[in-house]
Each structure stands twice: as structure tokens, then as C-alpha cells.
Structure 1
């Protein structure tokens, strides 16, 4: 009897040990199976989805970079015309480009030479300066983006008796002559207030078009600019000399200590831009201002940023004219109020008095407004940047300084440039009026290095005379 009881206890203890061992083994198995879940804090399928998304994002960036490289390679040496092969249905990433009625632009050294059929409208005539290019490059964003390489025509600044003027010099510059369009309109005025033109240019945003500007505001503003002096830069010209000599003054630190003031003021016209401080720097930058170039936004920012340096008001002398680079409706509203001696009646600047900036008793000739075709032409032809092949393209345009220098090149007979970026820019502060050294900052909305290269090319071609220091 005692033996049977002991035997039962032994079997019970052994059974419990076996059960405990089985539990331990099962627990260890579960821990091994869900090790990733325990360590990372997420389920294995969630971790995989996250990794796939990261790879997808990385792939998109690689695609864009790869496409930019392909685009630059494609248009550095334009390929000979060739038949386009229709891709197979299996290749979902390659599509055949369709012919476009409006030109798209990429940065070439040589353009195709066969001109396309000119377009016509009821307003100012249009000219398409080169045919559209067709590509089958995969996922190039600009293949579906209309850069608008079609422009109105204008001969306001074409005629001149000056020998060897800047326009003629383009013809001898192999890397520049195909970018130049002689009849592109530089300024907009009453004759451009056409509904057909509004419909055409409303397709383009920012400085490149009239998107975001209502027909009412545009029509009222341009109809106030009803003098040929609004369409011609030099309405005050009365010299006997056949050549108009212009100095364009940037704000670069290279001018500090330059002693170029007297030379700058000796030109027939002097262009200045943004925070154009002259008081206290006359020896270096001169004191004459024939044209002050601005956008409403850049003017307001300059007054706020450089007021402590003495920039309390924009240049305003007897000879000063104002050239506007419009980005949106606030620019047209400001000019409309200035020419009607009224207060800005709507928008961001509602309640502001233009007389505070431009003075009173203004004539219509006091204002010039750059034409959106001209700004689009500068971006497309002279300062095309790879950012135009990305989704950030809308923020990009030539800088204000670049815009006025190129405007002078298209209107003056001879151009000298001072205070613009040169390869030795690191030796100088950002601005000539900086109290302490400020490093030049680079932003995505402008391509300063590309602009710097263009100034060098124009200087080497003799189109401009660029001030440089060793």
C-alpha cells in the first residue's frame, strides 16, 4: 500500500515537470518567432511597408536626378532628327511624346535651325522661334510642362544707328547667338492690353505671365500707360551721340573700395536695383540713378532690411524712372494707384500711398513694366536651370539683378556691369554696404552660379564690360 502511494506521487511529480518543460519550450519558441516584433515595436509586415515606402521615395529622387542628367546630355549636343519608335505595351514607363503647338525649352548650345510656322493673334504678333523637340526619355517632368518658348514681337528697341552695338555682337558669339531673339518685347504697355494676349499669357505664372492677375486690373493699369515712353526705355534721350551707353550697378561687395563711382556716373544712363544705397558710397558706386528697378516685394523687403544702413527711401531724382518686375497683381495695383494719385484699394498693400515711394506729380512715362514674354525668354534661353525639370519649377526665375542687366543688354547700345558676381566672389562680402563680412547665400529660386557663368560668357564675347577685381 505504501509502495503504491509513493509510486503515484513520483508519477505526478514527473508529469508536472514534463508539463513545465513543454511550457518553457513553447515560450522560447514564441520569443524566437516574434523577435523582430518585440525589438522594433512594430509588426513585421508594417516594417516591410515602411521600407518599401523609403525605397519608393529614394527611387523617385534617383529618377529625377537621372532624368536631369539625361536631359542635360540630350540637349548639350542636340541629336539629329530621327524617327520615334513606339514603345511596347509592356514598357509602362516609356511614353511617346506628342507634337506640341507651343515650344518647350531645354538648355542647348545649338538650337534646331528649321523655324516653325508663326502663330498669329488679334493682338501683337507672335513668333515661335524654334520647333518643339520630341523625346522618349522616361519620366522627364518637363516633357509635359509648357515652358512657353513663343513670344510676341516688338521692334521698339531694334532700330539704332550705333555701330557695333550689343545686338550685333551676339551674332559673333557662337555659344550665345542662338539664344538671342532680336524682336522679343522688353516692356509692356497699352498696346498689349488685348484680351487675346491675356488669354495667351494667363497660362504662365509669376513674372513669366499673367496668371493670378484679373483682366480688370491688368486692363486698367496698362491703359494708363498710354505713351510710347512706356514702351521705349529711353524716352528722355536727346543727345547727339548715336550710341546709348549704360551702366548697370548691382549691389555686390566687389564694389566696396572700388573707386568706380565717377566712371559709373559718366554713362548716359545708370541702372540700380533693390537696396541701392549711394549716400556714403559715392566714391565706389556713384550717385546718379536714371532707372530704379524693383518688384513690389523686393522693394518692401529692401526698405525693411537696409533701413538701418540709410536706405530709407528708393532713389528718386529728377532723372529717375521706375522699372517694375511684376510677379503678381499687387505690382499692377501699385502702379495703377501711383498713376491715378490714389491709395491702393485692395490686396496685400491696401491703404498704402504710392507717393510715399515714388513721390507726387508723376507722368505716365515715369513707369516701365517688363513684359512677361521677356522674363520667360530670359529664363528659357539664357538662364535655363535643371530645377525646371522638377516639381519646384514654379519658384524659379532669374534674379532681379540678372533681369535688369539683361534688359539693359536688349535696349542699350553699350553696357558696362558693376557689382555683379564674379568667380572670386568669396573674397568680398554679400553687399558693398555691409558693415561686417557676410557670406553670399544661395537659394533655389535663383541660380547665382549660372548667372555668374553667363556674365563671364557675355564679357568674353564683348557684349558687356564686366567689372572684376583680382
Structure 2
């Protein structure tokens, strides 16, 4: 009897050990199969303070690598949706856009190129409205002329792509066209009611033209675009930056205490509601208590969601945000009081889609994670300047020697630059190099 009980005990213990071993093997197997869906930790990098919730799903790197091999040759065309104007001095018109099929480029000829695009089952949306608000200039050595001579870039560039959206775009036909695209690339996440109310408040040509305050004597508009990269710490570029006709800044643009390196003027402050809120929360302890707000400052919004339009609507009606995520917030806390319609400008979704498709295409667009990707706010500000200014100098943007510098110029200790899946900073860095080599921009590289 004793021997029988002992034998049963040994068999029971062995059974438990085998069962435990099988469980461990199953767990290891699960981890191995899911290893490609685990992404290393990422942090907000130069010119971008994105919250983790913006990243949505993890990205399958194997899917992205496969997507990079998809190529197709297509013509690059635009669609003329708005009748040409005669520049910023033209009286305000609210006449709706007419649909006219046309091919437009800097040479007014069709452009053929071979580039990577996503599969035919996904609508890339490589058709855009046209707008000539920033076309006319008497500057003899302007960016638009340089694009014509840049072999690797001229077929990407569309001279008449709309940069800003305003009242004339508040048309139901436009809403139907653009609500097919999500995020910054379209109006999918915005109701017609909110969009229509907001854009109808943007009823001045100053909302459609970047430089409504221009009164310079020079024929050329010179712009300094300032990112937040650590390369500016100790650069002593402040005086040169402030000497430009206009100074563009973005997100956590701290100037107090750093004037020698980054200057103190802010003509345009670029932001998304999400990136602005995150910057104020993240860098308040460094002195970023409020966004740049001076007599010359204009606010340029990169909209991602309905909350962006709701914030502008509340600011221009001197009211409190009445719904959505920011319900109860007072825009005066961020932008001040006594605002006019010219204080705000909003990037056009066609412009953001155009930047993504032609300048910053990345293999993630061939995967199911495509919706999390767009150009960074820093990339949007620099490319907006390139499409509106006559001459552009860029400071504080990522360069090949970025590892020598901390993530931001205002970092107290060295902070390594890391990368999000929703932007492609290396792609952007290469684009800045290409634009610099072509003479389209002057990039500060601290060599």
C-alpha cells in the first residue's frame, strides 16, 4: 500500500512538471510569433511632440519592407478646381469652385515619373486643387525657378498646389472630395457643419495668402524656418535668424534664454492642437508657459481632427470650445485676445497629402498602418515656407551629424534622438540634404 501511494505521488508530480513545461513552451512560441509586432520605445523627436495615443497600432516592420518593393509608373497631374486669381490684392470672392480638368506644373506640361506608390486598392489621392495665391513674385532668384533646374526634385513640385484653406474652400462639393482622406490629408474626421462654420470665419484674402503683412522694399521675401533641434545650442545664429523678413517657428519654440542661438522674433507659429498642448505640458518647466505671441505673430494650424477647427472657431468668435475633447477651454489662454481673422491660417489638406505623396512617400503607406503616417509638423512648416517664400534658410532641422547633438536645443542634459513610426525623420533628413544641394534652401549644418 505504501509503495502504491508513493508511486502515485511521483506520477502526479511528474505530470505537473510536464504540464508546466508545456505552458512555458507555448508562451515562448507566442512571443516568437509576435516578435515583429513589438517596436522599441520611441520618444517625441525634433520639431514634434506627439502623444502615444497618436501612434495607434504597432507597425509590422516586415510589412513595410515588403511594401518598399512595390513600384508603378504613373503621370503626376493636378485638377483645376478653383479659377485663377491675380494674387493677394484681389477682392474677396465667395463664388464656388468650378471643376475644370487640367494638367498644371511649373512648365504647364504633364509630368511623367517612376516612383513607389501603394497598391491600386488604396486611394493615394494624388490629385489636387490649384491655387495661384503664392505664384506671383518679381524676385529674380526665387525658389520656384530653382525647382525647374533640380533634376531629382522638379517632377515632385507642383507650383499651384493650394497651401492654405479659407472661406472659398467651404463648398459641399469640396467636402465630398476631401472627406475620403483621413487625418491631415483630408476632412474625414470633420463634420460639414464644423468645417463650414470655421472656414466661413476665414473670410479675408489674408487667410489664403501667407504674407498679408508684407510691406518690404525688397522684391524677394526671405524666410528663416527654425526647428527645435539640438544643433542650435551654442550656434549663435540668433541674430542671423531675426534678420530675415519672416521667422517661422514650431511646437515647443522656447526663445527666452536662448536668444543668442535662436533669436526672439516669431512671425508664424506652426502647430497642431495636439502638438501645442503636448509642448506646453512637456516644456513648461523649461519656461514654455505659453506659445509665441507678439504683434507680428500669425498662427498657422496643421489640422488633424475636428478639435483643430473647433479651437479656431472658438478663438475667432471669442467663445469657449463647446464640444469634443477640448470642451470648456478658452482659446484666449493660448492666443490672447483682440484677434482678427488674419491672425489664423490653416494648411490645406491637399497640401499635406501632396507632401506625403510626392516628397515624403514611405513604405508604411503600403501597409495596414498607413493611417498613422504623415509628415512631421517640422517638415510641414519647412515645406510650406518653400512653397510660399522666395528664399528660405532652415535652422535646427535634422542633419547627418544629428547624433552629436541633443534632441532639442533647450535640453538640460543630452537626450538621444529617437524615431516614431508615424513620421519618417530619416526620409525628411535626406530631403533637406537634397533641397540644400539643389540650392532651394540654405540648411544650417554646423560643419
Bin the TM-score by the shorter chain. Answer: 0.7 to 0.9
Q: Is the 8 A contact 1:291 1:323 kept in 2?
A: yes
1:368 aligned to 345, 352, 360, which one?
Answer: 345
Distance of aligned partners of 1:66 and 1:414 in 2 relative to their CA distance in 1, 3 Å threshold: closer
Tell me, yes or no, if the aligned pair for 1:269 and 1:290 is still in contact at 8 Å.
yes
| 1:194 matched residue in structure 2 | 171
Work out whether residues 79 and 129 of structure 2, in 8 Å CA contact, stay in contact via their aligned partners in 1: no
> Relative to structure 1, is the Cα distance of residues 223 and 234 closer, same or farther in structure 2, using a 3 angstrom cutoff?
same
Instruction: List per-residue Cα deviations over 1:446-467 (Å, max 9, x = no partner).
Output: 1000000000000000000000
**Does 2:254 align with 1:277?**
yes
Match of 2:120, SS state, is helix
Q: CA 1:190/1:240 → structure 2, altered by over 3 Å: closer, same or farther?
A: same
For residue 212 of structure 1, report the CA deviation from its aligned partner: 1.4
Q: Which fold has the larger relative contact order, with Cα–Cα distance below 8 Å and residues 6 or more apart in sequence?
A: 2
Match among 445, 448, 466 for residue 422 of structure 2? 445
Matches within 5 A, 1:164-243: 164-243=141-220
Instruction: State whether structure 2 residue 243 is matched by structure 1 residue 266.
Output: yes
With normalisation by structure 2, the TM-score equals 0.81
Matches of 1:245 and 1:236 in 2, distance apart?
14
Aligned partner of 2:130 among 149, 153, 169 = 153
The separation in 2 between residues aligned to 1:311 and 1:62, in whole angstroms, is 36
Identify if the C-alpha distance between structure 1 residues 206 and 428 changes in structure 2 by more than 3 Å, giving closer, same or farther.
same
Q: Residue 118 of structure 1: CA displacement?
A: 4.7
1:123 match: 97
| Distance change >3 Å, CA 124–CA 320, structure 1 → 2 | farther
Change (3 A) 1:62 1:454: closer
Residues 86-118 of structure 1: CA deviation (Å, up to 9, x unaligned): xxxxxxxxxxxxxxxxxxxxxxxxxx56x7695
| 2:440 maps to 1:463 | yes
Give the Cα–Cα distance (whole angstroms) in 1 for the partners of residues 19 and 234 of structure 2: 68
Task: Deviation per CA, 1:382-437: give whole Å up to 9, x if none.
Answer: 00011101111100000001100000000000000000000000000000000000
Q: Partner of 2:156: helix, strand, or coil?
A: coil
Structure 1 distance, partners of 2:160, 2:81, is: 15
Matched, 1:70 2:47: no
Q: Cα RMSD between the aligned structures?
A: 3.3
Q: Secondary structure at the match of 2:426?
A: helix
Change (3 A) 1:436 1:152: same
Structure 1 CA distance for aligned equivalents of residues 438 and 346 of structure 2: 28
Relative to its length, the structure with more helix (as a share) is 1
Which residue does 1:248 correspond to in 2?
225
Mapped to 2, the partners of 1:457 and 1:235 lie a distance apart of 30
Q: How far is the alpha carbon of 1:123 from its aligned partner? A: 2.4
| 1:288–1:144 Cα change, 3 Å | same
TM normalised by structure 1 equals: 0.77
Question: Relative to 1, partners in 2 of residues 1:63 and 1:355: Cα closer, same or farther, differing over 3 Å?
Answer: closer
- Contact kept? 2:419, 2:425, Cα under 8 Å: yes
1:299 and 2:276 are equivalent in the alignment: yes
Report the secondary structure of 1:246's partner residue. Answer: strand
Maintained 8 Å contact 2:267/2:296:
yes
What number of residue pairs does the alignment pair up? 392
Q: Which residue is equivalent to 1:391? A: 368
Matched, 1:290 2:274: no
Indicate the structure (1 or 2) with the bigger Cα radius of gyration. 1
Q: 2:302 aligns with which of 311, 317, 325?
A: 325
Asked if structure 2 preserves the Cα contact closer than 8 Å seen for 1:128 and 1:149, the reply is no
- State the secondary structure of the residue aligned to 1:376: helix
The alpha carbon displacement at 1:149 in A equals 0.4
Question: Aligned partners of 1:255 and 1:62: how far apart in 2?
Answer: 33
Once the 2 structures are TM-superposed, how far is the Cα of residue 143 of structure 1 from its aligned partner? 2.6
**1:141 Cα shift?**
6.1
Other structure's SS at 2:323 match: coil
Query: For residues 468 and 133 of structure 1, do their structure 2 counterparts lie closer, same or farther at Cα, with a shift above 3 Å needed?
Result: closer
Q: How far does residue 41 in structure 1 lie from its aligned partner after superposition? A: 4.4
Unaligned runs of 5+ in 1: 1-33, 79-111
Distance 2:224 2:421 in 1: 28
Answer yes or no: is the 8 Å Cα contact 2:170–2:196 preserved in 1: yes
- Relative to structure 1, is the Cα distance of residues 116 and 259 closer, same or farther in structure 2, using a 3 angstrom cutoff? closer
CA distance in 2, matches of 1:256, 1:65: 35
* Equivalent position of 1:400 in the other structure: 377
Partner-residue secondary structure (3-state), 1:248 = strand
1:344 aligned onto 2:318: no
Q: How many Å apart are 1:70 and its aligned residue?
A: 2.3
Runs of 4+ in 1 over 6 A off after TM superposition: 37-40, 60-63, 128-135
